[in-house]
Structure 1
Amino acid sequence: MKINRAVIIQCRLSSTRLPQKALKPLGGKPILSWVLESMKKVKADAYYVATDRESYPIINEICQKNGFMCFAGSLDDVLDRYCSLIKEIKPSIVIRATADNPFLFYEAAEDSVIEFENKNKGKGKCDYFTYSNLPHGSGIEVFSANSLLKAQSDTSSQYEKEHVGPALYNHKDSFVCLFEKPSKDYDYPNYRTTVDTYSDYLHAIMIDQYLSKKSFVPPYKACQIVEACESKVVQNPIVLIPSTDKGHGTGHLHRCLQIAISIPSFIYIPKDATLPGINIIIDEYMKMGLENWQVINELPQKDYPAIFVLDDFNTSSEIFEKLNCGKSIISIDEGGSIHEEIDYLLDIIPSFKIERKANFVDTGYIQKPKNVRSEKSDKISNILICIGGEDPSSFTIPCVKIFSEKFPESKITAVGSSINNSNLENN
């Protein structure tokens, strides 16, 4: 069968900024699957993924599930990879996309091919065509297959061999290359939809979450992707950072998890968290609505424009430095040295002998019992000891000992998760 149009998507698994980014899960499937589904919407006679030999076994499996053929070629010389496939299948037109763009404007891609074909009618000539001003990561390129073969024979530039397109548009004396402004439906140059870094990946997750919550079905239309990019949820992502250290109790974690199941947000749980029972707690919140995508084990890079919410008890300067390029930093119950530099501070209960000015110091919101005694009694019959709920610093037992010595005739009731009979007997 004569092949006129061939969709060829380049993909490799040896990326360095975000390792194996094409396999990163997004909405329950790898990013590569998103690209293949989008490009299947573009009319063509052949659909291929061009990868390297080492990546081939894994990539081929995804291709088969999505109706694509898989071709293995050079790892670093992507231009040669394309040209080797061109020599094998002999298409007239090559439609190029990359495997790290899950939110392609497939309608604009089809329009691009039609424009390319129209410009080659009659005496017209066009070797390369693309729309400029699309979101970074939503566009494709259209080539004359013969022009790609000529460009390969002409160039010795490693950059051009790696990036393909420059082998033509850097040599406009030899090739007719057109960059045209798209219709207003696609003209959004300030948005970014590619997945090249970890921050891009988190951004892609938020785009998908916004659209899936609205019951849109992927591959998403251009207007839907634009709507997501313009939404407050995507433009102002929230990253919750609770304390996960042993000895700080689980209150910080519970508070952040409750926020996470209420609003779309990420919650940072480091791989080396030492808080006892942390996985059990997270599993319980999964049953209450927390989703897998929300739990991240790596902090975003400085270019991620997030609102960071710290509930870390004593945030280290190292963590703070990593977050200091975000949109805002909100801290809850902060006892560390960063209190002068954060944007918003909320004290749950101001620290004892606090050395800084707290933003909430009035404890009037803590309601006293209505039947509180107004007269003091010399005899204390009953003593209730409850310190911090979980008592992460194990103050309860020493307090029991002190009060039992001072009030030997009193009945002492101690409440705490770390108390057992042996503790009381030994103390």
Structure 2
Amino acid sequence: MKKVGIISQARMTSTRLPGKVLRPIGGRPLLAYHIERLQASGLPVYLAITTNATDDPLADFAEARSLPVTRGPEADVLARYQQCAAAHELDVIVRVTSDCPLLDGGLITQAVQTYLAADNPRLYLSNVLERSYPRGFDFEVFSWELLEEAHQHATTASDREHVTPYIHQNRSGRVDFTHVTRPTDRNAYRLTVDTAEDFELIRRLIEEYQADTLGAEELITLLDAHPELVALNAHIEQKKL
């Protein structure tokens, strides 16, 4: 049996909205919603944070919830993933980011089942290369083999910071791909938190619509029905790699 784990990267020093992952909504930190929705997948969840003292509150958060945490370089996030996966002897890694509080654990479960059925350590499976889900539902699934290969061979600062470009740009020439898509494109919706406007949308969704109890398709239906909510952060541009 392959050991599968979800690794979420987090830090307190976000450039556009510092400390965002511990900002409270409904009396609970944003990160609590993120972790609980990941745990709904039934897979173990690990937090990969930096060695900076500024991330000590994240370590405290993890300790209070018996959540395994590893600490590594701030800029070299690829090294953080490699260290975490090695420490927990993961065969398959699901990569997510902690600024996505409404990630759907059920969607990840289905993706991992598809990945495992393929039985291909050279496979990269994700919903981020061919986008049809809202930003905020992003996940990538790949093997320890591909992660270790990227760790050994990726050299640019951008490759190290963004973890998977070496893999998904197929620098080795030996990567296979599966894209998780939905029939109707909703990638223009933003359910990730990078700015104050993003945070306000998530706050309203959780406090007014109990979004933390809804699955991906239910959330998309909710946004379809409320263009005034979509408008709150529709003008925000995603930071480029």
Please give the TM-score of this superposition, normalised by the length of structure 2.
0.86
| d(CA) in 1 for partners of 2:174, 2:197 | 36
Alignment-derived partner of residue 297 in structure 1? none
Counterpart CA distance in 1 for 2:199 and 2:98 is: 13
- Which of the numbers 125, 131, 141 marks the counterpart of 1:129? 125
Structure 1 residue ranges (4+ consecutive) displaced by more than 3 angstroms after TM superposition = 64-67, 124-127, 172-175, 301-304
Q: Which amino acid aligns with 2:207?
A: Q
Q: For 2:152, give the aligned amino acid.
A: S
SS of residue paired to 1:171: coil
CA RMSD of aligned residues (A): 2.4
Is 1:303 paired with 2:232?
A: no
* 8 A contact 2:133–2:182 mirrored in 1: no
C-alpha separation in 1, matches of 2:170 and 2:176: 9
Match of 2:56 in 1: 57
SS in 2 for 1:110: helix
Are residues 42 and 60 of structure 1, via their aligned partners in 2, closer, same or farther at CA, if it must alter by over 3 Å?
same
Q: Kindly tell me: are residues 27 and 93 of structure 1, through their superposed partners in 2, closer, same or farther at Cα, counting changes over 3 Å? A: same
Amino acid at match of 1:225: L
User: Paired residue for 1:235?
Assistant: 230
Unaligned ranges ≥5, structure 2: 237-241
Number of corresponding residues: 231
> Who is 2:239 aligned against?
none
Alpha carbons of structure 1 residues 166 and 87: separation in structure 2 relative to 1, 3 Å: same
SS of alignment partner, residue 156 of structure 1 = coil
Partner of 1:196: 194
Contact 1:37 1:219 in 2 (8 A): no
What is the distance in 2 between the residues matched to 1:181 and 1:92?
21
3-state SS of paired residue (1:90): coil
CA distance in 1, matches of 2:231, 2:90: 44
Residues 4-403 of structure 1: pairs in structure 2 closer than 5 A:
4-44=3-43, 46-54=44-52, 55-120=54-119, 124-131=120-127, 132-184=131-183, 188-212=186-210, 218-232=212-226, 233-235=228-230, 303=235
Query: Deviations along 1:185-212, whole A, 9 cap, x unmatched?
Result: x852221111011111112122223313
SS of match in other structure, 2:70: strand
Inter-partner Cα distance in structure 2 for 1:83 and 1:51:
12
Deviation at 1:175, TM superposition (A): 3.9
Q: CA 1:28/1:116 → structure 2, altered by over 3 Å: closer, same or farther?
A: same
Distance 2:150 2:6 in 1: 19
Asked whether the 8 Å contact 2:3–2:90 carries over to 1, the reply is yes
- Asked if the contact 1:168–1:177 (Cα under 8 Å) also holds between the matched residues in 2, the reply is no
Higher relative contact order (CA 8 A, sep 6+): 2
- State the AA in 2 paired with 1:234: L
Change (3 A) 1:302 1:105: closer
CA distance in 2, matches of 1:4, 1:95: 11
Q: Deviations 1:174-233 (Å, cap 9, x if unpaired)? A: 34242414244x852221111011111112122223313xxx6x3431133113322335
Question: 1:3, CA displacement in angstroms?
Answer: 6.7
1:42 Cα offset (Å): 1.6
**Deviation sequence 1:317-369 (CA, Å, 0-9, x none):** xxxxxxxxxxxxxxxxxxxxxxxxxxxxxxxxxxxxxxxxxxxxxxxxxxxxx
2:113 and 2:75 mapped to 1: Cα distance? Answer: 31
CA offsets per residue over residues 60-95 of structure 1, 9 Å max, x none? 222234442111111110000111122222110011
Q: Distance in 1 between matches of 2:7 and 2:174?
A: 21
Q: Percent identity?
A: 23
Please list every run of 5 or more consecutive structure 1 residues that lacks an aligned counterpart in the other structure: 238-300, 305-427
SS of residue paired to 2:189: coil
- Larger Rg belongs to: 1
- Higher share of residues assigned helix: 2
Q: TM-score, normalised by structure 1?
A: 0.50
In 2: Cα distance, 1:27 partner to 1:190 partner: 26
Quick one: distance in 1 between partners of 2:7 and 2:132? 22
**C-alpha deviations, 1:87-140, integer Å up to 9, x for none?**
2221100111101001112222111111111112xxx45332102311111121
Asked if 1 retains the 8 angstrom alpha-carbon contact of 2:91 and 2:144, the reply is yes
